[in-house]
Structure 1
Amino acid sequence: MGTSSIWMVVTLLAGLASSGWALYSSSDDVVELTANNFDRMVVKSDEVWVVEFYASYCGHCRNLVPEYKKAATALKGVIKVGGINCEEEQSLCGQHGVRGYPTIKIFGANKRSPVDYNGQRTAKDIAEAALAEAKKKIKNVLSGGSSGSSSDSGSSDSKDVVELTDSNFDKLVLNSDDIWLVEFFAPWCGHCKNLAPHWAKAATELKGKVKLGALDATVHTIKAQQFGIQGYPTIKFFAGGPKDRDSAQEYDGGRTASDIVNWALEKHSENIPAPEIVQLTSEEVTKATCEEKPLCVVSVLPHILDCDAACRNNYLAILAKMGEKYKKKQWGWLWSEGGAQPEIESTLDIGGFGYPAMAVVNVKKMKYSLLRGSFSEEGINEFLRDLSYGRGHTAPVKGAALPKIHNVEPWDGKDGQLPEEEDIDLSDVDLDEKDEL
């Protein structure tokens, strides 16, 4: 062979090597996956997939080939088996966090969050792991979960993530009193796809506190332009209450579910209003104020005849200030007039030291703690601070249940009035005469 012929062979081999040889052919039961067909065949399908991310130069990858082919044949008709040449599909492999070869992932019940396979590299072990994920998916579907396929949205695989559009954004976000985190994404964005399962999980954990939404910025361009979206994903925070386009704040937290939840809860605690100090007037009021709260602060104030409107308002102001100070705890706050709810006072040992008095109740555990210091800002703050740190004396609620609550009229904000004495005419009343000494 001449020199020119040798160089032609070397050049050809170098060209083939640089393009990355595929380890599997169309005659194998291993499906060749690329960026062009991955979403359609894997992510949006209802089938369970085993996917190997490989490089042709990788010795471990070449050693795996016969076992992987064997697994694909054994699973044919039950579970799909595919391979991705990362030399050709660097972006696709990067989106799935591939850092070494071979990497095997199983796409089962949650296609946006595949399971990493770390078992033995034998056909038997790979097939058994795939079947185990298939069983999990079946159980998930039977219990009412999703089939596993995902839509185009970077975050729409969770029912708790609100799909936002140009037409509903103002109504749902800007014109609501809710707190929002909004992700602006693009369907083709790898980082958006990586964020999706974390965004979905965070939405579920934050339900009832902070709403999470997702807007496809490639479709709903009006809102994307309005908020100056230039990269994906971009996350904006909208505080509770009235909002406009200038209300948006940049999200600067991490991109795991726990990072998102912790960041959002901190914002939530800053934005929540101080709790209302509610008068204990009925059973319904008690349940609405305290049933779902971690603790319930119950105060009994002096009777209005013993402490006029100005006096009572001073006590309520102290309670309101404490409510503001401890609002992040999300406790319930109740107050009652001395003698209006005698069963509650007896159950919580309130009133034995006179009025005003305070007890804090854990409704779920049916335990309570009594304020034994002064009913002042300093005394109450010290008492509540100790409770928030898990300190202080507690006792079980008598009978392990709160007693009957009487229906009473709410205070009208005025001073109390002594009952008018009835004038009695004694002129016609016969009185027994008594002998004088």
Structure 2
Amino acid sequence: MRLLLLGVLGCSLVLSVRALYSSSDDVIELTSSNFNKEVIQSDSLWLVEFYAPWCGHCRSLAPEWKKAATALKGIVKVGAVDADQHKSLGGQYNVRGFPTIKIFGANKNKPEEYQGGRSAQAIVDGAVNTLRNLVKERLSGKSGGYDSNQKSGGGGGGGSKKDVVELTDDNFDKLVLDSDDVWLVEFFAPWCGHCKSLEPEWAAAATAVKEQTNGKVRLGAMDATVHQGVSGRYGIRGFPTIKIFRKGEEPENYEGGRSRGDIIERALEIFSDNSPAPEVLEILSEDILKKTCEDSQLCVIAVLPHILDTGASGRNAYIEVMKKMAEKYKKKMWGWLWTEAGVQMELESSLGIGGFGYPAMAAINSRKMKFALLKGSFSETGIHEFLRELSVGRGSTSTWGAGSMPKIHNADAWDGKDGELPEEEEYDLSDIDLFEKIEL
């Protein structure tokens, strides 16, 4: 199981890969493969916890969640998703931290955030109140169920066929082969039962993937019985057949699962593989720091020596190391920032930087206000070891600031040149008698 550094920082770097729930519990284990059938297509009210096995808060919640599941058995369904293993589900429902609890009620397309207490009694009370409101809606004549899209299995991500691009012999080359985007293309036959089963999953995945990749990964569908030119070109023999198209490359057969979760997860992996590394930005304002750290699971911040100490070549060497590490960890979608020593003193102070000299580096989880400091060398090997140590729970973290970001000063961007010593003022001493007697 791949471990997220975010989780390491967010849950005090205590890791465990042991599942929190078992088949003997009344908590229903939900996965990318069964989520649609169990939850989205169900008439039941569901409480779903998205958790990570290494998260301390999740472990604390587990016994209460089990008690609530037992108390609600036969009344309200209680499930749990290991969002560290099934990342596509967490991404699909905008899960940003652990544990996150969502209520899948009348409109399965739009689950509600559970905001109540984390004791078994509070969870049960919240579920019963939601159930009572659902029954009142039905009594008043409101459907309280799914819309037509959900009944067909198209719910969960708010997907609809509008986000599946209809491909033909006429538009295929222009839309797919000439595009810089990555395409997942389903070749189907209208009479194929497996194709009909895949259709709602493909539609829901198309919407989620389009949103999460900003349209850089698209899902299309081609009726291979009508458009036999393209289908014959790629040797389509069975239905449905799914192929992955990248510009300038031979198409790749899709070998993953056929649920929306599986499709989304594979699409996001492809997106990560093809996406550029994040930029390494200089901290010039509060907005840069805030946006980068809040938009990322983790912020890696370097404080580089003064330009007079390294010159342009030395500074560029440090920045190049950061760029290489940003490329190496680009799938994490972390933020990468740097500043010159002495420019952002409040930031340095809040991180305790200075005692180890420069360059220095910190890995920050701004949501949990936790950070860890690089103690080794500022090199590819040293930084990789730093991040690896954290990922296996051997790093140490501290609280960042007093619950809020430190003050950030506006600064001028580095011009890429060597630094220059400030010019000293010249004084005219010709009129001064250096030997003039000083009267006391």
Same fold (TM over 0.5): yes
Does residue 212 in structure 1 map to residue 215 in structure 2?
Answer: no
Q: Structure 1 residues 322 and 109 mapped into 2: Cα distance closer, same or farther (>3 Å)?
A: closer
TM normalised by structure 2 equals: 0.59
Deviation at 1:368, TM superposition (A): 0.8
The residue type paired with residue 338 of structure 2 is W
- Stretches of structure 1 that go unaligned for 5 or more consecutive residues are 1-107, 111-131
CA distance in 2 between partners of 1:221 and 1:366 (Å): 57
Q: Is the CA contact (8 Å cut-off) linking 2:159 and 2:205 kept in structure 1?
A: no
CA distance in 1 between partners of 2:381 and 2:419 (Å): 29
Q: Of 139, 160, 163, which aligns to 1:158?
A: 160
Give deviations 1:387-416, integer Å, cap 9, x for gaps: 233441111111212123222222222111
Q: Is the CA contact (8 Å cut-off) linking 1:150 and 1:157 kept in structure 2?
A: no
Q: Could you say which structure has the greater relative contact order, defined with CA pairs below 8 angstroms and 6 or more residues apart?
A: 2
Aligned equivalent of 1:398: 401
TM normalised by structure 1 equals: 0.59
The correspondence of residues 106-117 of structure 1 with structure 2, limited to 5 A, is: none
Aligned equivalent of 2:293: 290
Deviation at 1:170, TM superposition (A): 4.9
Aligned equivalent of 2:144: 139
Does residue 314 in structure 1 map to residue 317 in structure 2?
Answer: yes
CA distance in 2 between partners of 1:225 and 1:378 (Å): 49
CA distance in 2 between partners of 1:315 and 1:147 (Å): 53
Give deviations 1:307-352, integer Å, cap 9, x for gaps: 1111112212222222222222221111111111112111111223
Q: Secondary structure at the match of 1:359?
A: strand
Q: Secondary structure at the match of 1:333?
A: strand
The residue type paired with residue 220 of structure 2 is G
Q: Is the CA contact (8 Å cut-off) linking 2:281 and 2:338 kept in structure 1?
A: yes
Deviation at 1:386, TM superposition (A): 1.8
Deviation at 1:204, TM superposition (A): 4.8
Q: Is the CA contact (8 Å cut-off) linking 1:160 and 1:212 kept in structure 2?
A: no
Q: Of 395, 411, 428, which aligns to 1:408?
A: 411
Q: Of 348, 352, 373, which aligns to 1:349?
A: 352
Q: Of 223, 234, 238, which aligns to 2:241?
A: 234
Q: Secondary structure at the match of 1:400?
A: coil
Q: Structure 1 residues 170 and 363 mapped into 2: Cα distance closer, same or farther (>3 Å)?
A: farther
Q: Is the CA contact (8 Å cut-off) linking 1:359 and 1:369 kept in structure 2?
A: yes
Aligned equivalent of 1:19: none
Deviation at 1:429, TM superposition (A): 4.8
CA distance in 2 between partners of 1:168 and 1:418 (Å): 62
CA distance in 2 between partners of 1:326 and 1:382 (Å): 13
Q: Is the CA contact (8 Å cut-off) linking 2:107 and 2:144 kept in structure 1?
A: no
Aligned equivalent of 1:426: 429
CA distance in 2 between partners of 1:137 and 1:218 (Å): 42
CA distance in 1 between partners of 2:178 and 2:286 (Å): 34
The residue type paired with residue 208 of structure 1 is Q
The residue type paired with residue 402 of structure 2 is G
Q: Structure 1 residues 418 and 173 mapped into 2: Cα distance closer, same or farther (>3 Å)?
A: farther
Deviation at 1:296, TM superposition (A): 0.7
The correspondence of residues 85-124 of structure 1 with structure 2, limited to 5 A, is: none
Deviation at 1:194, TM superposition (A): 1.4
Aligned equivalent of 1:381: 384
Aligned equivalent of 1:264: 267
Deviation at 1:367, TM superposition (A): 0.9
Q: Secondary structure at the match of 1:305?
A: helix
The residue type paired with residue 236 of structure 2 is I
Give deviations 1:132-190, integer Å, cap 9, x for gaps: 9x96993356xxx5555769xxxx96267432333654555444433332212232221
CA distance in 1 between partners of 2:267 and 2:149 (Å): 30
* Greater Rg over alpha carbons, structure: 1
Deviation at 1:382, TM superposition (A): 1.2
The residue type paired with residue 213 of structure 1 is G
Q: Secondary structure at the match of 1:324?
A: helix
Q: Structure 1 residues 432 and 275 mapped into 2: Cα distance closer, same or farther (>3 Å)?
A: same
Identical counterparts, % of pairs? 57
Q: Is the CA contact (8 Å cut-off) linking 1:300 and 1:355 kept in structure 2?
A: yes
Of residues 268-277 and 422-431 in structure 1, the stretch that sits farther from structure 2 once superposed is 422-431
Q: Structure 1 residues 174 and 420 mapped into 2: Cα distance closer, same or farther (>3 Å)?
A: farther
Q: Secondary structure at the match of 2:310?
A: coil
CA distance in 2 between partners of 1:420 and 1:364 (Å): 44
Q: Structure 1 residues 340 and 140 mapped into 2: Cα distance closer, same or farther (>3 Å)?
A: farther
Give deviations 1:248-276, integer Å, cap 9, x for gaps: 22212232334334433443343333332
Of residues 357-366 and 284-293 in structure 1, the stretch that sits farther from structure 2 once superposed is 284-293
Instruction: Let me know the Cα RMSD of the aligned residues.
Output: 3.7
The residue type paired with residue 143 of structure 2 is I
Give deviations 1:21-60, integer Å, cap 9, x for gaps: xxxxxxxxxxxxxxxxxxxxxxxxxxxxxxxxxxxxxxxx
Q: Secondary structure at the match of 1:417?
A: coil
* Pairs aligned (count): 300
- Stretches of structure 2 that go unaligned for 5 or more consecutive residues are 1-105, 109-134
